Structure 1
Amino acid sequence: MSPKTPRGADAPVGDGTDVDALVDGLFALPLEQFVVARTAAAKEVKASGDAVGAERVARLAKPTVAAWVVNQVARERPDDVAALVALGDELRDATADRDRTRIKTLDRLRRERVERVVAELRDAGEVAGRAVSATALDRLAETLTAAVMDPDAGALVRAGRLSQALQHVGFGIVDEGGEPADVVELRARTGGTGGGPGDADPGTSTRRGGRGARSARVSDPADGEPPEEDAVAAAEREVEETAAEVDRFEAERDEADTRARAASDAVGQVEDELGRVEDELARLADEREDLRARLADARAAESAAQETLTAADELLDAAEERAAAARKARRTARRG
């Protein structure tokens, strides 16, 4: 027996230091404490005699704000995250069965569950005592969707040890920078598994992205295993093709939904403006009728005044004629 047997990530080392527990504790800390605590943890593991484990801890990347939010959600709401990951398994089964009705139903359920978690955090305004920005909430929604669509991403999200938020795109999983995320390798680095902490097999073949990089396994006769039947390989290829088709249509659907929402918003704005104009037109119509009525009254008053003026002119003319006649009669009387 060799003097020192290699240990798995879950096994305590040296004086009983549990590397996996230390790693899990690091990702549970407030974000601003991560770097200092990581350095202290690496020293503790190295002092216990596990140089490999110490290097593993020292190389852990500090989470982005969005990744930290996802990690805390995974810890505070494990049932919600587990339900989303399980929903992903159902979606993959439905896809393998080409059950379009069930795929549509499950996809709608996936959207509703993700939106509910995000909405509740938005209402709370914080997670683990830290305010949550709109950008972080968008990243959370994208990461939870990735956890549904990719089983390895789902296991990593459930472990709560992300260093970057994830996003599911047509060809697989990418990180916040848009680079393909090797989620199998990430699981091996952080020790994430579907049910909680633990290491993935370092010998597991990795893949950059999602379903598109996975191929049917063909056994080598030299290793003593019989080759798989062609029907299995064909079925696996069919699963990959239909899964890629679902991904493509989902992306197109999301894009169409975005355009539809934008168009709906534009319609709403125009309708509001039209309503304002119609209200103004109604007000002006009422004002016009009022002015017309007042104009009619004014014209009637003008006509009556004109008639009064004409009558007054006639009376004045008659009075002036009588006055002239009276003056004439007075002059005649004075001369006589």
Structure 2
Amino acid sequence: MDVESVARELYRLPPAHFTAARNARAKHVAAAGDRELADGIRKLAKASPAAWAVNRVLADEPELKGEVVRLGETLREAQEHPDRQTLTELSEKRKGLVRRATNLAIDGAERDGVGVSGAAQAEIEQTLFAAVADSGAAAAVFSGRLVRALQSTGFEQVDTSGAVGGPQAEPIVLAAGGAADARGGRIGPRSAESARGVGARSAGAGAGAGGGAAAEAEEEEAAAEAAAAEAEAARKRAHEEAVRVAEAARQTARDAARKADDLAGTLSGYDREAREVAAEIDDLESQLEARHDRQRELGAQQRKAEREHRDAVTTAGRAARDADAAAARAVDLSSAR
């Protein structure tokens, strides 16, 4: 077991599950005593949605690797001996292959419950286009460890720095008989034969035209036109995607504005209700204070009545005693006579 094999397993998982699975695998490996491998696993970056979809489709559809390599080699050979018709045919084949592989990638992602946005779909197409155009990009794509999308201008080498999780992917090398080998899979024969066939047709076309400077100029013009057409198509796709993304952003902004208006109305209602409740509380507090005042008033009246009652009882007792005393004197006076 090495970082590359573990990475290929992890990068087939849906992006939402990657981080937890990576950390769990690193912890397990560290517990088993392989600290170096555990550190390598922890350093694996999470793949973008487009990169994950590409890793997945090439793992599920291995025959796509052979088609990409054979078509890429054929295209590069044809560009060395340009012929307008041949380049046009190969360009159409490339578009068809990229479109079919992209659809397979989207279908596979959706089967795993992962939606593919328009931007991610465009990145999948660009990455597969780059794999056809550039052998270094193909090596990164076929590694099964792609973490970001790739892009080809059609003229310069594709930048694959930081595109692969773990060690850099080994370049694709054509073996004897036309087989191509990349880390992570063998590609079947036919590439060299296809390339030689296209080269032969191109050379024949050049010879038929006289093989002179005029033929070379025509071939160069054809290659330039094909490259320009491809660049224009790529620019058009990028423009259409940018328009789509911009419209989606405007729609999102409109939806957010409507939601903000709705929330503002809701907040206004809450504020109005809060003021009403506060007014009710003030009124109840005023009523409560009035009740307290009345309670204090009644308490004072009660205490006054109690005092007057005590005074009346005292006065009545005193009067009763005085009456008793007067009655006793009256009896004494009556006896004395």
TM-score normalized by the length of structure 2: 0.49
Higher helix content, 1 or 2: 2
Higher RCO (CA < 8 A, seq sep 6+): 2
TM-score normalized by the length of structure 1: 0.49
